[in-house]
Chain A
Amino acid sequence: MKHWLIYIHGGFFALILWAAPLYAQPLIDGHILEQIDIASGDDDKFLIIRGILSPKLLSSVQLLQEDPLHPTIVIPNGMTNNLILPEVTSFKPGDIIEKVGIEEEIQEDGRGNLRFRSNLHLTSRLPIVLSLDKSRTTAGQMVFLILEKGGAGQIAAEDTSINGMPSLPLLSDNAEMPKQPGMSKMEMKEPDKMLLHPISAMMVFRRPSVLNLSILNASPRKEAAQRLAILLDRHQRKFLEDRLDMRLHISNISSIREQMTLSKTKIYFRPNYLTTALALATVIPGEQVVEEMSLERRGRLGLDVEIYVGANFE
């Protein structure tokens, strides 16, 4: 028993001795690897390394692809979380990669600083070429595109060799991804600058205290707009004002061109007035159609919501 205690204490002491210089290291950014997965897109397969990653160090990741059945991913400043990530990760029989073995290296640079490196040794069922998919790589995952060597989508990637050491330097932060014919990308196109993301729009929007409403008759019945105005003003005002937290102001009641009739009442709203328009739709009798105002309509002064009273308004 005593022997065991000595071993435990000794081990703990050794750990402290080992950890002390480590703890005294200057701040070194790095990656913590926690999980390795394979994912498939429509035509593409990906190797995903999940964990806490440092995007600025991605340029130092290296691919050793001399042997297309056994490529190696070298991740400098990469440590594995041994509690989560096993030494060997095996995949299903149908997956292109059979297994990934992890080898951790700790080196001293001669000035007392420790350097970490994780080497991921892949065993593939078919000859493959890996490339870092920078567009999908984030601070939470490092994504490698797996291309079958000789397949239609294979990139013309050749290992570069420095001092006899084969290594394929990965893309630097400023480097462009090589064109890969036949590849599909999952990322979204650049959004149209005209359209704000709804959450940004919500944050930017300053909700006014008054809701300016216009009611127009697009029904064959005379005075339909007026009747709706009376309904909203006399019977629904309190409900709407309480619900919308805005003062209701009907700024216009009129008719549109005689020939222009709408079968259903339409409610047009400015951006950020969706809830307002829906609240109005719930209190107006009949069936309504709620749409965002076109750019042309938005140019009209003093209006937040426009209601075109249709033929279905009773």
Chain B
Amino acid sequence: MKKIGIFLILLVLASAAAAFPKYTTRENALRLAKVIDKGLFKSHRIASAFVKNRTPEEYYLQVILDDGSSHSWQMDRIYMWALTDQLLLPNNRVLVFPSDESTEFHVLDKIAFYRRVLKAKAFVKTYDDHDLLSGKTLKFAIRRFRLIQPNDEDLFTTDDMGNRYRYVIEFKNGSREVLSYLSAYQLMHNGAFIEDPEPTDLILERAFQVRKMIATPKKQEDEIRNIWSFGVELEFDKPIPLTQDVFPFQVVEETMRHPDTGERETRFFIHVMFPNSEKVQEIQEIRTLEYLQHVNVVTDIAHQNRVYLRAQINPDVFELPPYVQITNRRSVKVNFFIVTDQSMIKRPEFVEAQMAEVEMHPALREMPRDTEYDKYYMEAVDQIRSVQGHHSLSLKIETYLKSIELLNQAAGHAINDRQIAQALQQRDVLHDVLPKMIMENTQQQLMRTDITPDRAVLLEQIEEAEDITTNREYLKQLRVLKNALMQ
């Protein structure tokens, strides 16, 4: 087994070295010569190191060892020897190369690293590219630090660049971080080791244990678009101090055989990830919850201390991403949305301007720019959202009427077709729901015996509704209500 491991390491190293440049710049070569001077190469001390060049841009080293032999060292060989511990620097330091495509190098002072890591109480974990938590950081309390011993299996593993793993940092939550010389250098210089945590630092110790999964009932989230929400709440053994941005989700496509027919079929699953969490007891699966099927909590086998809320979805009806809310009662609620009106998702039909329009930068498309249009449009959106779920019809009507005004203002400040279409589409959505709402409210107000309706306001609203709607039935009912108000 070990032989296979060594063979694999050599294979990785050979392929890594093959891509590594042979020559470097003059400045880099001068700095490297200074660094390796008096270092050890295999069993020989380096007596002196010089810089030589093949062309004006291509430099390498000429080294004289303590046995008097002189050698030309190209950068790819130095890189290879550094990876395999054949080249050691004086004062317990090592060479590290952050990239296998560049001759840029750093020097890890191992003694300084040990001192830093042994004093550290917490470790700042920054997640790599392609991790679901990519770009996010979490802080873990350190339990202990140790060196990988020669008899450890980990000795025979390397990162994808061929850097051998040397150290292990174990955390109080049971997970661990394995470091190479390169990652040790990078972490030390990126401030990953916290010696004196601030009182405001959120340092994770024990993992959160999932206790229960509860389905939360369907409720209307947005009445004017007829968007509904339902949820799944995971209850933990202790409060969750994390923010919602560290609960990302992914949709995973899996091909599996149908249990009855044996035919291969593709299924899509949503995974909402819970960091620093573990499942230590069986959690009852929810077989069907609205459009989710087989809702359960699973442990992520590829990452430490992660669980997923996993459910099968139909990709054709999964239109809005889930929204995570962290409650104050030891639970995290994942909200899912049901969009019944597909036109909300589709791009509105409109005629593109004849003149080629400069496309807005995609990064700016997500959040509106600070234009007059955006100001009015955002205010309308805020107003509309603010009364969703509110019980007072009067308040809703007043707010929607104000929002229509704002949307008209936004449309008046639009500078392209897309903006005007967006504002008018939003206005039309309100136009669709308002007349019915005004009629209901007027009826309710007239039937109430405890208060006297403000007839002037209601009349005004009825007239607004008459202006808005073209529905004959509505117009008829509005006339009846208007007469009742005028009596």
Whether the Cβ atoms of B249 and A292 lie closer than 8 Å is yes
Whether the Cβ atoms of A208 and B359 lie closer than 8 Å is yes
Give residues of chain B (328-342) contacting chain A, Cβ–Cβ below 8 Å: 328-330, 333, 337
Q: Select A139's contact among B19, B329, B381, B391, beta carbons within 8 Å.
A: B391
- Identify whether the interface residues of A are mostly helix, strand, loop, or mixed: loop
Q: Tell me whether A188 and B452 are in contact in the complex, defined as CB-CB below 8 angstroms, given that A52-B391, A204-B368, A290-B250 are known contacts.
A: no
In the bound complex, residues from chain B placing their C-beta under 8 Å from that of A27 are 451-454
Whether the Cβ atoms of A188 and B326 lie closer than 8 Å is yes
Binds B, one of A150-158, A159-167, A264-272: A264-272
Give residues of chain A (103-117) contacting chain B, Cβ–Cβ below 8 Å: 116
At the interface, yes or no: B197 with Cβ under 8 Å from chain A? no
Q: Select B315's contact among A42, A258, A282, beta carbons within 8 Å.
A: A282
Q: How far is the CB of A142 from chain B (nearest CB, A)?
A: 12
Count chain B residues whose beta carbon lies closer than 8 angstroms to a beta carbon of A.
79
At the interface, yes or no: B366 with Cβ under 8 Å from chain A? yes
Whether the Cβ atoms of A192 and B385 lie closer than 8 Å is no
Q: Select A200's contact among B16, B100, B346, B381, beta carbons within 8 Å.
A: B381
Q: What residue in chain B is nearest A77 (Cβ atoms)?
A: B450
A-B contact count (CB 8 A): 193
Binds B, one of A88-96, A223-231, A301-309: A301-309
Q: Select A192's contact among B245, B315, B454, beta carbons within 8 Å.
A: B245
Give residues of chain A (52-96) contacting chain B, Cβ–Cβ below 8 Å: 52-53, 79
Whether the Cβ atoms of A245 and B347 lie closer than 8 Å is yes
Whether the Cβ atoms of A28 and B367 lie closer than 8 Å is no
Measured in the bound complex, the distance between the Cα atoms of B251 and A308 in whole Å is 15
Whether the Cβ atoms of B366 and A298 lie closer than 8 Å is yes
Q: How far is the CB of A273 from chain B (nearest CB, A)?
A: 9
Q: Mark A238-251, 1 if CB is under 8 A from B, else 0.
A: 00000001100000
In the bound complex, residues from chain A placing their C-beta under 8 Å from that of B451 are 25, 27-30
Measured in the bound complex, the distance between the Cα atoms of B454 and A262 in whole Å is 66
Interface residues on A, range: 35 or more
At the interface, yes or no: A203 with Cβ under 8 Å from chain B? yes
Q: How far is the CB of B186 from chain A (nearest CB, A)?
A: 16
Measured in the bound complex, the distance between the Cα atoms of B364 and A301 in whole Å is 10
Measured in the bound complex, the distance between the Cα atoms of B326 and A84 in whole Å is 36
At the interface, yes or no: A187 with Cβ under 8 Å from chain B? yes
Q: What residue in chain A is nearest B422 (Cβ atoms)?
A: A206
At the interface, yes or no: B390 with Cβ under 8 Å from chain A? yes
At the interface, yes or no: A185 with Cβ under 8 Å from chain B? yes
Q: How far is the CB of B464 from chain A (nearest CB, A)?
A: 20
Q: Which of B161, B250, B360 has the most CB of A within 10 A?
A: B250
At the interface, yes or no: B244 with Cβ under 8 Å from chain A? yes
In the bound complex, residues from chain A placing their C-beta under 8 Å from that of B329 are 41-42, 184-186
- By a beta-carbon cutoff of 8 Å, the part of chain B in contact with chain A is 16, 19, 100-101, 129-130, 132, 134-136, 160-161, 221-222, 225, 227, 243-245, 248-255, 266, 268, 315-316, 318-323, 325-330, 333, 337, 344-347, 352, 359-363, 365-368, 377-378, 381-382, 384-385, 390-392, 418-419, 422, 426, 448-454
**8 closest Cβ pairs, A-B complex:** A139-B391, A294-B135, A290-B251, A278-B315, A294-B134, A259-B160, A184-B329, A140-B391
